[in-house]
Amino acid sequence: MLETPKGLRLHIGLFGRRNSGKSTLMNALIGQSISIVSDQPGTTTDPVEKTMELSPLGPVVFVDTAGFDDVGELGALRVGKSRAVLERVDVGLVVVGAEGLGPFEHEIIDALRDAGTPLLVVFNKSDLARPGAETLARLEEDGIDSVIAAAGRGDGIERVKEGLFRQVPDACLVDPPFVGDLVSSGDTVVLVVPIDLGAPKGRLILPQVHALRDLLDHDALALIVKESELAAALARLNTPPRLVVCDSQVVQRVAAETPPEIRMTTFSILMARIKGDMLGLAAGAGALSRLKPGDRVLIAEACTHHPREDDIGCVKIPRWLAHYAGGALDIDVRAGKDFPEDLTPYALVVQCGGCTVTRKQILVRQYRAARQGVPMTNYGMAISVSQGVIERALECFPAALEAYRRGTVSSESVSRSW
């Protein structure tokens, strides 16, 4: 992180009027006193930059700027430098002070939107004045995200971070590998694909397609079988496969039929690499060891498909978790964008693989859960734990396996990593 050049870092600019609290907000976001803070307007003159690691985004540069309402000949020069920053940031934070949203803020918003730069409006100093419902509604109608904070008191800083994560361009989040880094050219990989009521007629589901394409890109050989054909397929191979990847619903059977010297994992666990923070999800899986009857669990589906008979999210996972916990659990199933703001009532969040959403959306959900102290994992890891094969399924990923083991002891390891 310390060696990452500035040019490769995500640049986040803070813009607004003098004394709107930009410097206070930046200091609160980075947890250090970098920008000078004063009640005297115009304290920040030249742009102030601070490089840091902001999980889960990685290495970033915060740029604090002079107020857009600066006056005089020198003030005009300062505003000119602030305008120059507008042109080079990846995300803009428009900081609104107690005076409310006015012409200067709209000018900044228009400039950012004209440049195609994602932005977040931060109504700062909410302890002095809060935005009206009409103002918030108008921003929402215009498709502009906003949050309310009071940086001087430390209020709402987590909401600002979460809003910031929502605005980060997908291109700024480097996608981890799917499966190609686990194999070499010429290796054979067996993909176990059940054909049941949940299998789409005439096609494969996205994780299976991901695996096939990644293996082709890495010049590996892919052998696709149903779970009933796995043992016969392994027996016919002259050379043992490098890896076996299976659907989570058959992980117990596949783990039993795959010789211990052959590594195996699931499609959903592979999805945890490209649709979220794998280590955080693995640590969250450890929390299943602390589930007890009556605990409240959130099952989060990213898509809004009509539940089928014996549906994985609505029926199978709740049944497996209840059996693992030793009694009935209080299960909430949410679909699509219906993800609660307050997660504190839950002992655990179990997120689907996230095929239909971006990695950024899953990271935001993980961040929200972590800052509220609620463990979060995904379908594949939860199923593997409930079937007693999680250590085998994570053997390919030593860091994730270690995170899972730490998670069985305490959920604090998840929160600290964020």
Q: Which residue has the higher pLDDT, 126 or 307?
A: 126
pTM reported for the whole predicted model: 0.72
Pairwise CA distance, residues 338 & 334, whole Å:
6
Residue corresponding to tokens 């409310």:
100
- Considering only the C-alpha atoms of the chain, give the largest distance between any 2 of them, rounded to a whole number of Å: 82
pLDDT digits (tens, 9 = 90+) for 357-404: 878 788 888 988 998 999 999 999 999 999 999 999 999 999 999 999
Average pLDDT, the chain: 87
Which stretch of 177-186, 197-206, 248-257 has the lowest confidence by average pLDDT?
A: 197-206
Could you tell me which residues come within 8 angstroms of residue 211 by beta carbon, excluding any fewer than 6 positions away? 178, 179, 189, 191, 222, 245, 267, 270
Q: How many residues does the chain have?
A: 418
Pairwise CA distance, residues 232 & 289, whole Å:
35
pLDDT score of 168? 86
- H/E stretch holding 245 reads strand 243-246
380 touches 268 (CB < 8 A): yes
pLDDT digits (tens, 9 = 90+) for 61-105: 899 998 886 767 777 787 888 888 887 888 999 999 999 999 989
User: Counting Cβ atoms within 10 Å, is residue 319 exposed (0-12), middle (13-18) or buried (19+)?
Assistant: middle
**CA nearest 373: which of 332, 342, 404?**
342
Pairwise CA distance, residues 101 & 108, whole Å:
11
94 touches 15 (CB < 8 A): yes
